[in-house]
Structure 1
């Protein structure tokens, strides 16, 4: 088996290259390649992983050519330069490194707040010009002021900690901030409008999404406390720059400090040139420590995924630890094959998919298993679906996906998975387990006990439990040149309904299926492939 190959297309610490090599991964370090999108598109098909910073743009065109690509690792927090829907549709895991530069970015926000409060850049330029304008630069104290945090995640929490040390009062707007976490951070959780009216300083620490774009719009800025100072070291686009410039010109906003801008590199900007504005060129993560940290983190995360299947800090897929990955792998295969089996039997519109977990598997990371089940169930209709895109595809099509978990008091197996497809014509369900040999098995179909391993080519036959069926069925396959590999039979009661699940050595054509369905005991026959 060939080694995984990773391309590094942006400037990254040499330590990251060494980590890939130490983990047995071939690495191609081309730090200027990200600026040449055509050349990147031409060679990306040779790699399993792509490690980037902010210069590389992972566009749909790049992804179309990335036939082998499994993972994109962003050394940093923001993934604005990755087309997430396109990556998700192609089954490419997108990871970031949310903790590697958190302290550095938070410290930069605090530094910008001090620079803004005391007009340090302006005073420095004036003093070095020999002006000594001591009375011109009247600052404001930080102590006892109210700091408003818009976003209180990893970076916002560090800013809150530092602000508490400066004896500021901290209020925070973050829909995901729990009351317990707010108390732990010694911050007061408020709604956005209250923050705007109370804060002396406002600092933003939220990702750029459709909901947060222009969260400080012209209307929001108009609600702020007169004399407020605004700091943005998060993402360009969170603040309406034109509206902010107008508020600065009117004096309603006393000052602004920005490290990020709507257009970068920022050669021109509405904020430039205002005497009460401090600007830096996206330096939030620009310390030696942070650059090293994010490089090491992204290399470790990508290596873990490519070698063991562990998923950490993924934007578009649930996390799977290195310990979980080997235990999950056979159950992922079971969930996908059970879903595929039922999907191949379903011809009507699918309205819902329910996955029941019983026993030890119920305590595992079932999000990945559910993704696998949905992938298998929908692939007969949507061949391009994958484990990464499956939850989104189901949601977009209005298919309700439900998880149920139970202990194993009622089960004959240590772990058991049952999948039910709620189709427009009727529900279909099957259950399975993983034995100690690590192979997934079907042990229940339509409530009837069976015991069958999955094989590439299989026949599913629903029949009446009557004498002569097995002989007729076997003779028919033999006469048709179809060899039986394994044969599993189950029934609900003597003389009742029975199910035959058979592995065969070659695919069965339509003529064979027609002959099977013509047998007097047969109610339905389908070929299924795995």
Structure 2
């Protein structure tokens, strides 16, 4: 059955066609996002939701989204999506961070020119029939120092454009390495130094707890007298009231803002001040950018719904279509190992350690981690998936740790998962054979070779005669056929395990008879969902 996608905001016809060309059923209702009640009424019918900024995806909407798997935002900002509620619901939230990078960077440069030469005020004055040539004395950009806060995708383009204007660029970004800074031709500095040196300051960071009010009243007071400040990133990065006072006092010579702490901005401390340029969040408002992000979100959502590729997700590790093809068997294996341990564990889990060996260590470990965690938690929470699993684990206080190592044994690569509970440690390891099928290769430190089946039976016992006969006899008596059977032991007369791959689900009568035999320490029927 083809996936169904709802487009509830305005998207280009070309984006709609991408869904159709990929065989996805698409429902284009560009005004539906404005009607939250109607959206809540129909959202349960769709696998995907494509939006811009008009649709508000709240917790209440998500509660009704019983089939929803992915939300695609055509643009960078996802303030209109409750990401936490989406994660708990197991819904991937994607954005399109690259489709409007150039457009937003160009707008920041344009705003810098506008405030340097007081272009809006000069234009208004000239339109009014005045000729106030001496009133609008500007400054050159050439030779000035531009302080860039956030030298990522958009900030990096601004740095490049500013260098073309013969500006000296200093950048503050905790994630910018010295080597990368050299390649970019910028000087990496701490925020304090940037504030005291920059003639112009432009912001290009997301709004987080760490960046909120990064230009606070205290930091604004540290800036160089005559500085001009540009914000085309996110409202809330600058204390607008404090900036207004510094503009009035003349300490700050000008400001250019495209974003505000409250939007739509009907009133703001910066409005109607001299040499303050304001635009209504136009950073991405070009024909090219709007088309780019629409096409990009359609491709990303299609790739996920059809191939499992995760691109530009905000609440799950990204995995390209190529990675998804190569990693598919390993993602399944990770889930099966986690599911095996989860089905055997009845007490609360304190910690999960995941060891990646050889080939597995070079893969997308974040995605594999999600699969392991989801598998472990599935017994207690059947609705958990790769998106919601880390959230659920965090809520339960489960500590997650990951270890990687080079090839250390017979297999080219394997995954080993160990959990800790108040009562015990439990471990299981597995690998993917050349046929693409996952195998369990070690349980409780005992080596085995067990193919994963939909219906399985796991037993533990002391290594004594009669185990195989009892298992085969009891299962045969109750009409249960064994498709595959694996034994392993720690040593002669020591602890032993058996895994039977059954053609059908184990019945209660057979399990009761095996328990009554007194030969087994543990008997667990197991169920696995196979791709």
Q: TM-score, normalised by structure 1?
A: 0.95
What is the total number of aligned residue pairs between the two structures?
Answer: 528
Give me the whole-angstrom Cα distance separating, in 2, the residues matched to 1:337 and 1:64.
Answer: 28
Aligned-pair distance for 1:100? Answer: 1.0
Q: Give the Cα separation in 2 of the matches to 1:515 and 1:246.
A: 83
**Matched residue of 1:43: which SS?**
helix
Partner of residue 315, structure 2: 316
SS of alignment partner, residue 499 of structure 1: strand
SS at match of 2:96: coil
| Equivalent in 471, 478, 489 of residue 473 of structure 1 | 471
User: C-alpha separation between the residues in 1 aligned to 2:251 and 2:408?
Assistant: 67
1:495 is aligned to: 493
Distance 1:363 1:197 in 2: 44
Deviation at 1:104, TM superposition (A): 0.7
| Distance (Å, rounded) in 1 between the aligned partners of 2:288 and 2:317 | 28
Q: Which runs of 5+ in 1 are unaligned?
A: none
Alignment of 1:48-447 (within 5 A): 48-411=47-410, 413-447=411-445
* 1:528 aligned residue: 526
The Cα shift of 1:212 comes to: 1.1
In structure 2, the partner of 1:451 is 449
SS of 1:141's partner is: coil
| Residue 469 (structure 1) shift | 2.3
Q: Using the TM superposition, name which of 143-152 and 473-482 deviates more.
A: 473-482
Distance across 1 between alignment mates of 2:20 and 2:383: 33
Q: Indicate conservation of the 8 Å contact 1:358/1:415, yes or no.
A: yes
Q: Report Cα offsets for 1:344-373 as digits up to 9, x if no partner.
A: 212333222222223333322222112101
Counterparts of 1:291 and 1:498, CA distance in 2? 63
Cα distance in 1 for residues equivalent to 2:391 and 2:202: 33
- Helix, strand or coil: the match of 2:380? coil
CA distance in 1, matches of 2:209, 2:510: 54
CA distance in 2, matches of 1:69, 1:492: 47
| Residues 171 and 195, structure 1, Cα contact 8 Å, conserved in 2 | yes
Contact 1:333-1:440 within 8 A present in 2 as well: yes
> Within 2, Cα distance between the matches of 1:187 and 1:414?
43
Q: Distance in 2 between matches of 1:219 and 1:510?
A: 70
What CA distance in whole angstroms lies between the structure 1 residues aligned with 2:176 and 2:445? 45
Q: CA deviation at 1:512?
A: 4.8
**Residue 508 of structure 1, CA deviation:** 4.3
Offset of residue 161 of structure 1: 0.8
Looking at structure 2, the residues matched to 222 and 277 of structure 1 have their Cα atoms a distance apart, in angstroms, of 18
SS of 1:262 mapped into structure 2: coil
Aligned counterparts of 2:413 and 2:280: Cα–Cα separation in 1: 54
What is the alpha-carbon distance in structure 2 between the residues aligned to residue 469 and residue 170 of structure 1? 75
Shift of residue 516, structure 1, vs aligned partner = 2.5
Alignment match, 1:13: 12
Contact 1:89 1:386 in 2 (8 A): no
1:514 Cα shift? 4.6
Shift of 1:517: 3.0
DSSP 3-state at the match of 2:255: strand
Q: Deviations over 1:118-138 (max 9, x none)?
A: 110000010011011111111
Cα deviations across residues 437-480 of structure 1 (Å, max 9, x unaligned)? 33322222112233323333322110112122222333334455
CA distance in 2, matches of 1:408, 1:151: 39
SS state at 1:350 partner: coil
**Partner SS state of residue 321, structure 2:** coil
For residues 132 and 166 of structure 2, what CA distance do their matches in structure 1 show?
30
Q: Indicate conservation of the 8 Å contact 1:74/1:298, yes or no.
A: yes
Report Cα offsets for 1:474-519 as digits up to 9, x if no partner: 3334455655443322222233221111234554466654543332
Maintained 8 Å contact 1:455/1:503: yes
2:24 corresponds in structure 1 to 25
Cα distance in 2 for residues equivalent to 1:147 and 1:156: 11
8 Å contact from structure 1 (residues 102, 154) kept in 2:
yes
Q: Secondary structure at the match of 1:203?
A: strand
Give 1:260 shift.
0.9
What secondary structure does 1:3 align onto? coil
Stretches of structure 2 lacking an aligned partner (at least 5 in a row): none
Partner of 2:488: helix, strand, or coil?
Answer: strand
